[in-house]
A and B are shown apart, each in its own frame.
Chain A
Amino acid sequence: MEDPERTKQLSPSLAAKTAARVVKLPTRGETGVAKATRNGGATTGHKGSKRSHALWYALYLPQLEELALPQQRQYLNKLAALMQEVSSTVSFHPLALVCEIRSSLKYFGGIDVIHCRLGQLVTAQLVEWALADHFLYAVSPTVTGSLLLARSGHNALVYQKDNLRSALGQLSTEVLQLNREQNRRLYNMGVRHLRDIWRLPPAGLRRRFGSDFLNQLNQALGKVPEPTRNYLPPPAFLTCYDLPYELENLDRLLPVADEIFAQLCDFLRRRDLGTSQLLFSLQHEKRSCTEISIGLRQPSRSRKHLMLLLETHFSNLSIPAPVTAVKLEVTQFDAFVSHSDPLRTSEKWGRGKWGQTENSFDSGENQQRSGRKFYSGPIFPHPISPNDSNLNQLIEQLQARLGEHHVKSINSVAEHCPEYASQQTDYLEVDTPGKKRQAVATQVALHPRPFWLLEQPLQLRIRRGRLYHCKAITIVSGPERIETHWWSGTDVRRDYYVAREQNGSRLWIYRERGADKRWFLHGFFA
């Protein structure tokens, strides 16, 4: 390569005419190629013809190869986020990232500034991960070209597409990363460098090495378009709206909220996402803001649904001061799952919107007359799943109004002690499938159990040798002996009986098996 002094003099047009035609980028710390970049910066930013004028900065990290694939992907993602600082288009490649820098040349003031900046960011990150802090890089007008140059370790800068052929020509065929058989074949053909390939007829190459091989070369030379997978930053949504005047009536906030939700739903639709958790805050003057956390059972991006939930929240909300501004932040994004409604949801469908036509089909008369039997059930039988959106909406509304801990689901637990055999959990928790399956006991005791259980057993009186609750009690069946929890200090030793009160109700009572032998009421067979 040339000495740095000479590269300084090179302008792109001159570089095209010189034999080497490749400009060496400065190594870290140096500031070379000032002139060359100034010239490059002048041609910045024709968005319409971006592909043809683009400059691609390739960053090749061979040290990532030792890592497992998921970790590689994670690291590349992190680096891509860093590279977003200099470019809006960052694409992923094996062990490499490529970003477009032509459009940012003017803003940063040259390639070397961009390069230094990226160098600092990437090196700091690599050091943090305890990886080797060097990396290979190259700049050229094509993505594949930059990649090949970077892989070869040339750290080269090529401005013009016309120069790519000669710049790439010097590279060894190893940079193509072909398989062993293809390498052997190339070697036997006497091909050592890429320039040897340029001389071979494309038709023959395609026949011998496949079209992927030829496509890669054409992409490197900029003859065919290069599709890339671009880095998409994680979604974030935060919007504020300052009200023109202070509002005290929450109902008058609803149109504003509706407008904000419209923005949100638009954003979600564009990113093909749904949301399951939102934070809606009302800001007051000189007071801390009122925060409303809206949780959804299923990710949604329906404006109507979100508005309904917000209205429910508003209905029992009191604000300390008039509202000056509103803010909406999405705290949880989820993949959007759309629901396709079945043609007919249930057998009762006939009563609904299309009831009349349905009845004429299903009535017995019609069947007899035509002699044909019509299938009266659903066309596609579809059991109503408990996860139906209808029910979820109800539960969300209940949780919004009553508080999340007021809606409980219930399940039985394999446990001898009656107090612990039933468990009420917040409905949200049920969703974690492992937990639920572990807790639910399908088998319960053979002896009868009451629907109502008293939280604290109630001691029963004995009057003239008879047990009394409200009225006299007669034992119907029993005893069922339960002795458990001796390990926990609260020894449970009880004989349970089913008893009948004189007013007709059935009670679940027990007698302690200890010194006292007291009687307790523990439940009602309601």
Chain B
Amino acid sequence: MIYTSFIPVLFAFFAALASFKSLRLARILWIIAAALVIIWTCHHGAHHLPDLQSLGSW
């Protein structure tokens, strides 16, 4: 399953742990977590397109 639910949270947790040790590693992990949140949002947000289309013109 590509969009396994806990993967963005897993990266966030490791990033939080890395935030005490290495600034560079922490930033990289936080950026990956942010990118994963965006991808996961696009995946789940696609299910709501019919609702959004009912709201009128965009």
Does A associate with B in a complex? no
| Residues of A near any B CB (own CB < 8 A) | none
| Residues of B near any A CB (own CB < 8 A) | none
